[in-house]
Amino acid sequence: MKIDGTHYRSIWPHADGGWVEIIDQTRLPYEFGVLPLSAMEDAAHAIRVMQVRGAPLIGATAAYGMALAMRADPSDANLHEALQVLGATRPTAVNLRWALEGMRGLLAPLPPGRRAGAAWGRAGEICDEDVEINRSIGRNGLALIRKIAERKGGGRVNLLTHCNAGWLATVDWGTATAPVYLAHEEGIDIHVWVDETRPRNQGALTAWELGHHGVPHTYIADNAGGHLMQHGMVDLVITGTDRVAANGDVANKIGTYLKALAAHDNGVPFYVALPSPTIDWSVEKGADIPIEERGTDEVEKVQGRGADGALASVTVTPPGSPAANPAFDVTPARLVTGLITERGVAAATREGLRGLFPELAA
């Protein structure tokens, strides 16, 4: 999508072909900076410290990590090592495993001399496929937004989202935001309530990208959503997801479940947007999805820019109080109105998912 008129993806190979570039998301929304990834360990580090984040982008970065590993040393031993290192970076987003298993299947049977070229080519394809998938998710979600706009006689459509499932979390377009961008392009009066998403404030990334693309939005405290829904100020919720279980349960950023409960109580449609690589057919139910526990410093401290323009971190917890930081939660399928995928909107059920992706379910 666009940053002040210039089109960007969140990850791209450098024109010289020797390395990959990413937008360093740890510096956003305060500064825009591009970071080179020149070695597999750079890619692993970028995923681990969340310079890149969001399920689809984690998968794409891991794929390029494999390509960088094969450039350095295409041996069986290094193939195995790179799969291990990249696979251990973050536990919840299944797109990581999906990308790495795909790479293993492609590269292991090849002679070492052909692995680097094949890995580089496949990483590029994964990125291009992600863009096309998100565009399709956008078209399918747009149909839902259009209906609401028609029902409101062209009045403003208010959508609420949690975390960042925007173009920064994918290669381009985003999952939850793709329908928003298309609706905005079509001239629908759309406005987005952006949850701040403590503790890492991914909502600031969503606000940053919507703002730079010119989409009306309002940044709200995580606790505001229920109140807005009670007062008829939210027409629909769309979030992304890091892993969907075979029964339609959905893991996403911590706090998503509470938004789904509030939406259910207030009769607000709650949709989850996802590309098919985010479905984990091997996991029967959401309770079996591994939930990442992150460092407590993310909860104890708040980061921001001071009045002098400098970045600062302040502690908000009293000395000695323990903190906890579960990074994701599971929204039960019964609270999900529908799953917006590249093939259409599925019921959040085993049958709904299987109906749209019979070959993958098998």
Site residues for ligand MRU per CB under 6 A: 53-56, 93, 163, 165, 169-170, 174-175, 202, 240-242, 252-253, 327
What single letter denotes the amino acid at residue 297?
D
Q: How far is the CB of 332 from ligand MRU (least distance, A)?
A: 17
Residue among 119 and 163 whose Cβ is closer to ligand MRU: 163
Residue among 160 and 169 whose Cβ is closer to ligand MRU: 169
Contact 338, 176 (CB under 8 A): no
How many alpha carbons fall within 13 Å on the CB side of residue 136? 14
Residue among 86 and 107 whose Cβ is closer to ligand MRU: 86
**242 annotated active-site:** yes
Tokens of 191: 């406005």
Q: How far is the CB of 31 from ligand MRU (least distance, A)?
A: 18
Q: How far is the CB of 154 from ligand MRU (least distance, A)?
A: 29
Report the candidate in 312, 179, 331, 318 with the shortest Cα–Cα distance to residue 247.
Answer: 331
**What CA–CA distance (Å, rounded) separates 122 from 150?**
42
Catalytic residue among 42, 172, 235, 242: 242
Contact 251, 285 (CB under 8 A): no
Q: How far is the CB of 100 from ligand MRU (least distance, A)?
A: 16
Distance of CA 144 to the CA centre of its chain: 21
Q: How far is the CB of 215 from ligand MRU (least distance, A)?
A: 17
Residue among 61 and 337 whose Cβ is closer to ligand MRU: 61
Report the candidate in 170, 172, 171, 184 with the shortest Cα–Cα distance to residue 141.
Answer: 184
Report the candidate in 324, 261, 315, 322 with the shortest Cα–Cα distance to residue 292.
Answer: 324
Tokens of 361: 């379910």
Residue among 158 and 239 whose Cβ is closer to ligand MRU: 239
Three-class SS of residue 340?
strand
**What CA–CA distance (Å, rounded) separates 269 from 348?**
13
Q: What is the DSSP letter of 279?
A: E
Q: How far is the CB of 89 from ligand MRU (least distance, A)?
A: 11
Report the candidate in 314, 306, 297, 240 with the shortest Cα–Cα distance to residue 271.
Answer: 240
Residue of this chain nearest to ligand MRU (CB atom):
240
Report the candidate in 110, 148, 112, 347 with the shortest Cα–Cα distance to residue 250.
Answer: 347
**What CA–CA distance (Å, rounded) separates 226 from 107?**
48
Residue among 42 and 242 whose Cβ is closer to ligand MRU: 242
Q: What is the set of active-site residues?
A: 242
